[in-house]
Every structure is written in structure tokens, then in C-alpha cells.
Structure 1
Amino acid sequence: MARRTRLAGACLLALATVFAGAFSSAPGNLAHAAEPVAKVPFATEQAQASFPRQVTDLAGREVTLESSPQRIFLAQPRQLYALLTLLDAPLERIVGWAYPLAVFDPAMTERLEARWPQLATLPALSRASTPSLEGEALLALTPDLVLFDLSQRSRIEGSPLAALLDEVGTPWLYVEFNHHPLQDAPVSVRLLGEVLGVEARAREVDDTIAAHLALIDERLATIAERPRVLINIAPGVKVDCCRTNLHNGVADLVTRAGGRNLAAELAPVSGATLSKEWVLAHPPEAILNTGGQWAKGDGLRAGIGISGEDIQHDLARMVQTLPGWQSLDAVKQGRVMALWHGFHQGPYAIVALEAIARWLHPETFADLDPMATFAWLMNDPTLSRGSGHFWGQLPKNHRTEVVFPD
């Protein structure tokens, strides 16, 4: 309860700051509140406060840092996204990770390696996505900070690894980005800003995200329509259909973007995987799928190097291979979307939110530019639709003929 109170308080404080600052100076058109994302440069990186300092992590633990960490170990590789948002040279402060980012997204990894070649040789303790962290191997990298995801808490607290880190005096912290991404990400960004000594940059990122959230909330307040959305997580990767989020993750984004999560309203609370027959019996008005570039090459494609035609082909193939789905109104009306899975794994949930809002309410949010938001948060001005498509949708009354391999 204490952690929830802190999270809620932090988010309300950020939102209050935005309304008092960013909105008070914006022109009459609310669209102007979104403009800073594409135009405001990052603040100069500075360590603004003295060390030692005490910080509070996402589990509510108070941790003392004797100095600003320069040798950080990432227990989850997608934590890199937060560091490259906050730091101009993140690889100079990372000593290793549990396993490479390429396990999740080889194409994004290749792009990041072009910016920071040392990423290709960054020490990894494993090549598997669920490694058992060996304390001695980790300490051999001499980290001065270890970052864990809050989802790893049950495996870390009280473990031999935690005891070893405490024994040798290596601080460790929990961050969180994907469970409740719009709630937890601002708190994690602020925490990392304190830890890294870049509070001004963290505040700029946090305030910009809050301004974009406020814009979406303001416009949706006048809209009664809330389409019923089926959330389909990474179809084809583990199951054909349909892993879903009930009250967290992408579900948070759908609700905030002006949709209704079909599974949360109708599905049994005990399960998060829906059958194909259940979907046909409870037809959605829109279908949101997550895609990526999985190491095994299965599932829907989205991300670096992927074209809009690739996404349309994969969506057409999906609806053709699931019995009865071509008869769904959502399919006939072209309200089937693919969205890059990585958006709710780092501080980029706002990008997904803008893309979903445009998809569900195109007239209301036609002026949003989620790609510009993404490029700004990635600290990569060259990132554009030409780099790859991170979302796409099935055309209305599509006639795509999919050729299946023998």
C-alpha cells in the first residue's frame, strides 16, 4: 500500500507540474502541448547533486549510493532503453547485462550497435532470456550498481545473490516499466535521474510525457465512444491466440487511449489466455496485436527494417489462419492493428498510447506524431518511418492473398 501511495503521489505531482507550467504557456490549441517532443533538445548532462545520497526504489527500499554509478549491471536488457533516454553515452556507464537485447529484438540491437559499437561486446552472463544469475560471475564484472526489474523481486529478495551483493557492499535497485507502464515509468525515470545525477534530463522527459498524457486525457473527456478492444499479445510466438492483458500492461494503454479492454470486461478473472472460440462468441470492435522481431522469426513483425506491407501481410495471414476470424466486423472494417511489443518494456509507453489513440479515434488525434515522440525519447533524431514501421493495420475490406509455404 505504501508503494502504491508513493507511485500515485509521484504521478499526480508530475501532472500538476505540467498543468501549472507547460499548459499555462501553451497557445489556445491543445495540439501545441505536443510540440516540445519534436523540438526541445535534451538538457546538458550534469551531476547536479552531491553524493552520497539516499534514493527509494520501486519496491520502497531506501538505498544509499556513495557515488554516482559508473559500472551498472542490467538484470533485464530492456533497461537499456531507459538509460539511452537519459544519457548521451549510456554504454560508458554499463558494465554488463544478464543477457543480450538481441534475444528480444536483433534489428533494434543492430541499430544501437551502429551508434555504440561497444554494445556488441558488452559482457553477458547468459544467452537465455530467463537466466539464473550467478553471483560470482556478476561480481567479476565489478559493478557499482545492479538494476533489477520489480517483476524479479520474488526471485531476488532473500536470495543468495542479494545476500552476496549486500555482503560486498554493491547497491541494487528495482525499477519498473511494463506492469503499469504509464504509472511506473515516470517514477522509474525520476529514480534513475537521481541515481545517475541527471535530474534535469529526467524531469524534462517526465514532464514531456505528462504533457502528452494531459493532452490525450483532455480530448478524450469529450468523447463518449469507447470501442471494445481485444488485446492479443505476441500472437504466434507461444500460442496462436490469444494471450491478453486483463488489468495491466497494454490494457492500461488501451483504456487510457479511449478503448475498452474486452477481456477485462468479459473474460474469467482466473485466465489471461482466450480461446479462438471465445473471441468469436464475444466479437471485438477492434483487435490490437503486439509484434516484434523475435529471435525464432515467428509471430507478427514490427520494428526496425519492417515495412508497412510486411505488417499488413502478417496481419492478413493471422486472420486467415484463425478459423472464423475473417467474419469478424473488426477484420472487415480494417480495425486490426499491430504494435511493436517493445513500447511497454521501457519509457516508451507514451508512444504506444499516441499510436493507439490515433487508431481508435483518428479524427480526434490526427495531429499526434508518435514517431517524433519516439525519436525524441530514443535520443535519435534520425529515427523515422523510413527506419521501420512500429505499428500498422489491416486495410478495410482487405483482399490480401497470403501464399503459404509448402
Structure 2
Amino acid sequence: MSLFLRGLAAAALSLAVALPAPAHEHIKLTDLDGRNVTLHGLPEKVALGFYYEDYLAVAGAEGAAKLVSLSRAPWADWRPGQWAAYGAVFPALETLPDFGNADDNSFSVEALIASQPDVAILASWQTAAIGEAGVNQIKDAGIAVVAIDYNAQTLERHLLSTRILGAVTGQPERAEHLAALYEAKTKDTLERIAKAGPSGKKIYVELAQKGPAEVGNTYGKGMWAGVIDLVGGQNIAAGQIANWGPLSPEYVIAAQPDVIVLAGSEWRNKPEAVLLGFGETDAAAQPKLAAYAARPGWEALPAVQARAVYGIYHGGNRTLSDFVYARTIAKALYPEAFADVDPAAELRAYYQDWLPVVPDGTFVTKLQ
């Protein structure tokens, strides 16, 4: 059985534990940490740690009204354009209590408890950061802790996380539609690749945050490396970088990548970065992509010669809409197989169907 089909089977078997009950009944589920959780009725007050867009896609506008606190920095600081777009629709976000950021050890269990939620929905990387002691402290205050995990980049955990969000928010039908969409797009991507056969193309991804004068991180495992693995590209960082870190300029040139992907975001305090995402324009992104392509020694790289240099939104990976970015990279590797696929149009359709904001900005682009 293929990895994809095993993921489908595991997700189907686990679905029963994630289905919600009426508000007056207990909801029992197994979260993505493997923790058995019982909710005493449908939660009305939610502390949200991460996966903000995914939560809102499943919960709908009603889910925003249930929020009583946030881990604010990973949204407002990491994705300021995205934060501003949602703040325009939900002004109350700006005044929600902030319980800190597990990524920089400022996470405050006490602040989360003080917001008096019925449930804390946290990423598995956040529960790992605060440890069992932190999780138990929250639980001892009478607050259920539910861990979800899109960071794992597996079909199974994407689907289970979505269905668990459906259970906790009382939106099982939305969750099922979203899970089916993600499943179908992933299946279509893999079927096109299987039909096309190996591309044989080498690919290099760089976090384009520091500008071309300084080498940014690439990924040997997880994050964009996980996407490359999914779509069958030859990642030049594989075996060179354990998780993330920079490759030497000499190694990149020697590897002669056929495709280069520059991951950009809304880093407005980093003037040399490739800026992509909400509020960002292709007109501004093109000179930044060109500056990277003009690095010493890059002019002769196959990717630069073919103008196969792409910009991709760093904040879009490891989400319910990340099938768009997988298809962007797949199209770069197998252009004929994905000739009829327009990732930017698919992203717009996703937002139109599932989210309350319009994705005004550039999220995927190619060097002209």
C-alpha cells in the first residue's frame, strides 16, 4: 500500500474519535499528541496557539467570536500582512490577551489560564515546548488541551487535525469538506507526477529573508524539503543539511540546480528580503528575485538560464492551503503535467470558499 493510501486509511480509522456531539454531551477525541481528551460540551471560549487560518477555515466566522486569547507573535509579527487582513474583518483580534510565544520561551501558561478558555488549541510543537508540566498546569485549571499538527506534513495528520478542529468548533461538515478538498488535491498532484515519471530535476530552496549578499537557510528535512520529497524533486540540500541551515555558495553552484525556489514573506523590516504575501506585489518582488539570480556564479546555473527561479509564500506551507504551494513546486518540476494548473487561481478559490478575507497580494511568482 502506498504512503498516500496508508495515510487515507489511518485517517479514516481515526475519524470516529474526532466527531463532535451536541453541545450538552461530552466530546471525546484523541489529539495529535496521542492524548485522550474529553470536552464537557461544545467549547464556547477558545485559546488559540497557532494555525490561525486553519482554525478559521474550519470554524468560520463563529470561531473568531469564540477566541478569548492568542499566541500573538506567530501571527502578528511573523505574518503582519495576514494579521492586518484578518484584523480588518475581526477588530477584536487586536485586543485579545496574548499568552506569549513558545518559539522564544515567552509562552505564559498563567496568561493562558487567566483568559479562562474552555479549551486551548495548541500546535504539537507548542505543547512540546511547554512540556507535560505546562500541559498539566492548564488541565489542572479545568481547561482542556487539544494538540493539532500541520507541521508534520503528512496527509494523515493534516486530515486528523482538520477533523479535530471540526469536532472542537462544532463544524464537522466544514471540516469534512476541507479534508476532502485537501485529499483530492494531494491525490491529483501525486497522480500527475506518477503519470509524468521522474523529472530528474535538481531543486534548491532558500529562505530569502536576508537578501542576496547573505546566504539564507535551506531545508534538508521538513518544511520546503518535505514538499520537495512529496513531489519527487531532487533536493540538493538532502544529506547536506540535517533540518535547516545555509549551504555554501560553492556547493550550490557545483550542484547546478535546475529549479530555484526563494521563500519570501511579509518581512517589512528586512528591506533586502523577497516580500511575498498579503499586501505584497509582483512588481516589487521581481527586482528582488532578479537580485538573487544575479549572485556571483549564478548566471550560468541551469535554473537562472531557464528563468526557473520562483518566489513562494513562506507562510503558506504547513497549512490546509499548502496543496497550492506543493502544486507550484510540482509545476516547476513537471511543467507539462501541470500545464492546466494555476496555483494562484486555486489559492484565490480556496479563500473565496473558506475564509473571510481576500488574498490580496502575490503568493507565488516566477522570475520574468
Report the TM-score range of the alignment, normalised by the length of the smaller protein.
Answer: 0.7 to 0.9
C-alpha separation between the residues in 1 aligned to 2:12 and 2:327? 17
Paired AA for residue 329 in structure 1: P
Q: TM-score, normalised by structure 1?
A: 0.79
Match of 2:99 in 1: 125
The secondary structure found in structure 2 opposite 1:158 is helix
C-alpha separation between the residues in 1 aligned to 2:100 and 2:216? 30
Distance 1:112 1:381, change over 3 A: closer
**1:56 Cα offset (Å):** 0.8
**1:130 Cα offset (Å):** 2.2
**1:155 Cα offset (Å):** 2.4
The answer to whether 1:140 aligns with 2:114 is yes
**1:381 Cα offset (Å):** 7.6
Instruction: Give the percent of matched residue pairs that are identical in Structure 1 and Structure 2.
Output: 27
Distance 1:366 1:200, change over 3 A: same
C-alpha separation between the residues in 2 aligned to 1:250 and 1:270? 10
C-alpha separation between the residues in 1 aligned to 2:268 and 2:99? 18
The answer to whether 1:304 aligns with 2:301 is no
* Deviations 1:165-195, CA, capped at 9 Å, x for gaps: 1222211121111232544322211111122
Q: Which of 185, 190, 197 in structure 1 is aligned with 2:170?
A: 197
C-alpha separation between the residues in 2 aligned to 1:231 and 1:269? 14
Match of 1:154 in 2: 128
C-alpha separation between the residues in 1 aligned to 2:262 and 2:164? 31
Q: Which of 17, 31, 55 in structure 2 is aligned with 1:83?
A: 55
Q: How does 1:5-404 map to 2 (within 5 A)?
A: 9-12=6-9, 49=22, 51-76=25-50, 79-89=51-61, 90-100=63-73, 101-126=75-100, 130-159=104-133, 161-180=134-153, 182-224=155-197, 225-236=199-210, 240-264=214-238, 266-267=239-240, 269=242, 272-298=245-271, 299-320=273-294, 322-378=295-351, 379-380=354-355, 383=358, 387-395=360-368
Contact kept in structure 1, 2:210 and 2:216, CA below 8 Å: no
C-alpha separation between the residues in 2 aligned to 1:213 and 1:63? 29
The alignment's C-alpha RMSD in Å is 2.9
* Deviations 1:264-295, CA, capped at 9 Å, x for gaps: 1x525487431112111212111112100125
**1:327 Cα offset (Å):** 2.5
Paired AA for residue 205 in structure 1: L
Contact kept in structure 2, 1:285 and 1:335, CA below 8 Å: yes
Contact kept in structure 1, 2:48 and 2:122, CA below 8 Å: yes
C-alpha separation between the residues in 2 aligned to 1:375 and 1:181? 24
**1:142 Cα offset (Å):** 0.5
Match of 1:32 in 2: none
Moved more, 167-176 or 150-159: 150-159
The secondary structure found in structure 2 opposite 1:338 is strand
Contact kept in structure 2, 1:177 and 1:184, CA below 8 Å: yes
Contact kept in structure 1, 2:10 and 2:156, CA below 8 Å: no
C-alpha separation between the residues in 2 aligned to 1:276 and 1:71? 50
**1:147 Cα offset (Å):** 2.0
The secondary structure found in structure 2 opposite 1:163 is helix
Alignment length, in residue pairs? Answer: 354
C-alpha separation between the residues in 2 aligned to 1:72 and 1:260? 42
The secondary structure found in structure 1 opposite 2:98 is coil
* Deviations 1:198-241, CA, capped at 9 Å, x for gaps: 11111110111111111121221122323111121344179932
Question: Which structure 1 residue ranges, 4+ long, deviate > 4 Å from structure 2?
Answer: 7-10, 13-16, 46-50, 126-129, 268-271
Moved more, 65-74 or 247-256: 247-256
C-alpha separation between the residues in 1 aligned to 2:30 and 2:7? 12
C-alpha separation between the residues in 1 aligned to 2:136 and 2:307? 53
Distance 1:377 1:93, change over 3 A: farther
Moved more, 177-186 or 234-243: 234-243
Moved more, 84-93 or 333-342: 84-93
Contact kept in structure 1, 2:113 and 2:141, CA below 8 Å: no
Distance 1:278 1:256, change over 3 A: same
